[in-house]
Structure 1
Amino acid sequence: MVEVVNNNLVLLFVSITSSMLSLVCLGFIFVLTKKNQQNEQKHKVLRQHLQQSENQTAILRSEIAELRSGLLSIGQRLVACENYAKDIAQQQAAQKYDDPDAKIYSRAVKMVELGADIEEIMRECELPRAEAELLMSLHNKSS
């Protein structure tokens, strides 16, 4: 009889212990499930942030591509304008030397700068007195 009581006590102890272990395991499962849900929510938020960042990156890349294209176009236009300005400067320089009147006036201005008098300018450059006087007065004002 003592053996039966001892066996019953052992069985009772084992069943209580197993019930306690089951409750502890259920508690761990509950805690782990809660943490897993929290982690899933954090991951969801992080995925949303990542998606937003990827969208913004795509937008910025397209804007950079547009800016690059615009800058290339502006650069090409600038080169064309510089070439055009050089051509115009060369044409003006060529016209300056092709125009016989311009040669006369350039020579007359140089003579004024070197200190020639009106009579000498009129004789050498074949200019009327009024034009020679005008050149002299313009040179005197600029000096």
Structure 2
Amino acid sequence: MMMLWVVVLAQTILLIALLLGIYLMQRRSQRQLQQLQQQLSTLNQATALHTQLDHDIKELRSGIIGVGQRVISFESELSEQQQQLHQLMDKQQSLELADPDAKIYSRAMKMVELGAGLEEIIRECELPRAEAELLLSLHQTKSS
């Protein structure tokens, strides 16, 4: 009977050790499961953030493309306006060269802008007094 008692005791000890081992493995598995759940939660948050950032980047790209197209359009318009300005300047210069009176009035206006007096303008540009007075009057009106 003693032998039976020792066998039962040994089996009981083995059963307790086995149950303790199972319990410890279950606790370790539980901790690992919690860690994995935390990692999964962090990964889900990172994925959501990545998706939002990707969406934001796509919106920025489309906005930048629109701005780029407008800049190209403005550059084209500016180029056209510069060409028109150069054409007008060339036309004005050719008109000034073709009209000798225009040279005299241009010279007289320059003299007025530089502060020349009435008599000096009349003498240097050979303008009638009334025209020289008109140029001076116009310049004074612009200056005011």
Normalising by structure 2, report the TM-score: 0.74
Taking a change above 3 Å as real, the CA distance of residues 19 and 103 of structure 1, as seen in their structure-2 partners, is: closer
Give me the whole-angstrom Cα distance separating, in 2, the residues matched to 1:117 and 1:68: 56
Closer, same or farther in 2 for the Cα pair 1:36/1:103, shift >3 Å?
Answer: closer
Distance 1:34 1:140, change over 3 A: closer
Which of the residues 115, 120, 137 maps onto 2:120? 115
Determine whether 1:64 maps to 2:64: yes
Equivalences for 1:82-97 in 2 at 5 Å? 82-97=82-97
* Corresponding position of 2:51: 51
Structure 2 residue aligned with 1:133: 129
Gaps of 5+ in 2: none
1:111/1:3 Cα in 2 relative to 1: closer, same or farther (>3 Å)? closer
Q: Which runs of 5+ in 1 are unaligned?
A: 122-130
- Give the letter aligned to residue 94 of structure 2: A
Structure 1 pair 105/50, CA: closer, same or farther in 2 (3 Å)? closer
State the Cα distance separating 1:35 from its structure 2 match.
Answer: 2.5
Q: Which whole-Å CA distance do the structure 2 matches of 1:27 and 1:111 have between them? A: 102
Between Structure 1 and Structure 2, how many residues are aligned?
Answer: 132
Which structure has the bigger radius of gyration? 1
Aligned in 2, Cα 1:11/1:105: closer, same or farther, shift over 3 Å?
A: closer
Report the counterpart of residue 31 of structure 2 in structure 1: 31
